[in-house]
Amino acid sequence: MITTNIKKQLYIGLASALAAAAAYGATQTIARFVVTSTAPASVSATWTIFFGMIFLLFMSLNNIKKDIKAPKKAFFMMGLAGIFSSFGVFFMFSALANAPVTVASPIGAINPLVAMALTHIFLQKLERVTINMVLGSILVLIGVTMVILGRFTV
Amino acid sequence: MSDTLLGAILAALAATSWATGAIFARIGMQHMGSTTGTFFSLITGFLLILVIALVLDYEAMFNVSVETISWFVLLAFIQFPLGRFLNFNGIKYAGVAPATAILGSTPVFSAILALIFLGEQITLMIGLGIVAVVIGLAMVLYRS
């Protein structure tokens, strides 16, 4: 029973990550249009995050009473997660302003390998990084680089 | 330092920032749900970006049309309740390593959408790249 629940949670997690990748893929196209034709990047990012907060506030209304009792450390960690995610976007926009997309995007795509290294160092008690995951991520990185080079070089 | 080298360093910093954010999110969501966790991560992210926007583009911040606002709402809906919430859900339930590896395939989804909606041509390089990503993801997911 416990194994079935863990498997179910794992499938939900994997499906969520796949759907997130598709959603981020869609936003890249829309964001490029918005940033290049309607408003500067910082303005677009601010308003977009503002409306995102409103959406998430409504989504979390049912859970917030229970989650508000979480340890302060959890809120601190989620706050740091938000700051680092925002810095990631800011650094990537700055990278694209200085270097061609064929250089910046593949380097940005090493994110999973960095995450696996950090997981191995700091989260050994929570999860395990397998050789399959590392090799698979290297293959994803190679594939993504080929797609980017195929799209943005003549 | 050349612009390209500076851009490469900034891109590496972006990758490190996203990976570090995922680690913090994994630790934080041990004690709370992913919807509330995503909401609190957005508050700090919003404050940071707001300061940058007010410094860089103060006038443009409050000079946006209704049409532009509607684009922001659409973008926000896809980016946060779908993108970041599902990303954090993936980190919480599947773990940092598999979730970030799957998320690394985002440019492929972008390319597929461009092929479907923008009529971009699929070249041999793009085709082989997509095949490599699919095999790579299968390896990550196998016994994960």
ipTM, two decimals:
0.83
Who contacts B50 (Cβ-Cβ below 8 Å, separation ≥6)?
A46
Which residue out of B30, B31, B112 would a mutagenesis test of the A interface target, given it has the greatest number of A Cβ atoms within 10 Å? B31
**Pair of tokens at residue B43:** 């508050």
DSSP assignment of chain B equals --HHHHHHHHHHHHHHHHHHHHHHHHHHTTSS-HHHHHHHHHHHHHHHHHHHHHHH-HHHHT---HHHHHHHHHHHHIIIIIIIHHHHHHHHHH-HHHHHHHHTTHHHHHHHHHHHHS-PPPPHHHHHHHHHHHHHHHHHHTT-
Nearest Cα residue to A80 out of B34, B48, B140: B48
Residues B83, B118, single domain; the answer is no
pLDDT in tens, A2-58: 677 888 888 899 999 999 988 888 886 777 677 777 777 788 888 988 999 999 999
Mean pLDDT in residue range B118-137: 86
Rounded Cα gap, residues B47 and A53, in angstroms? 11
Which residue out of A5, A151, A152, A154 would a mutagenesis test of the B interface target, given it has the greatest number of B Cβ atoms within 10 Å? A151
pLDDT in tens, A46-87: 898 899 999 999 999 988 888 888 999 999 999 999 999 888
Instruction: Band the pLDDT of B29: cuts 50, 70, 90.
Output: very high
Indicate if the pLDDT at residue A154 is higher than 60.
Answer: no
Nearest Cα residue to B91 out of B37, B11, B55: B37
CB-nearest partner of B50 from A25, A46, A145 = A46
Phi then psi for A124, rounded to 5 degrees?
A: -60, -30
Residues B65, B36, single domain; the answer is yes
Indicate if the pLDDT at residue B56 is higher than 90.
Answer: no
Are the Cβ atoms of A24 and B140 closer than 8 angstroms? no
Residues B44, B83, single domain; the answer is yes
Residues B15, B65, single domain; the answer is yes
Residues B12, B81, single domain; the answer is yes
Phi then psi for A110, rounded to 5 degrees?
A: -80, 0
CB-nearest partner of A143 from B56, B80, B129 = B129
Mean pLDDT in residue range A108-122: 88
> In terms of CA atoms, which chain A residue is nearest residue B46?
A49
Nearest Cα residue to A139 out of B15, B105, B110: B105
Residues B15, B55, single domain; the answer is yes
**First and final C-alpha spacing in chain B:** 42
Report the pLDDT value the prediction gives residue B143, as an integer from 0 to 100. Answer: 62
Residues B87, B26, single domain; the answer is yes
Q: With contacts defined as CB-CB under 8 Å, which chain B residues touch A144? A: 104-105, 107-108, 129, 133
Rounded Cα gap, residues A108 and A121, in angstroms? 21
Residues B114, B84, single domain; the answer is no
* Distance from the B61 Cα atom to the nearest Cα atom in chain A, whole angstroms: 5
Beta-carbon pairs below 8 A across chains A and B: 490
> What's this model's pTM, rounded to 2 decimal places?
0.84
Report the pLDDT value the prediction gives residue A2, as an integer from 0 to 100. Answer: 61
Count the domains in chain B.
2
Q: Please, what is the Cα angle at A78 between B86 and A27, to 5 degrees? A: 35
Residues B82, B108, single domain; the answer is no
Report the pLDDT value the prediction gives residue B3, as an integer from 0 to 100. Answer: 79
CB-nearest partner of A144 from B71, B114, B133 = B133
Nearest Cα residue to B101 out of B79, B53, B133, B125: B133
Asked whether residue B59 is domain-assigned, the answer is: yes
Q: Which domain holds residue B127?
A: 104-144
Asked whether residue B99 is domain-assigned, the answer is: no
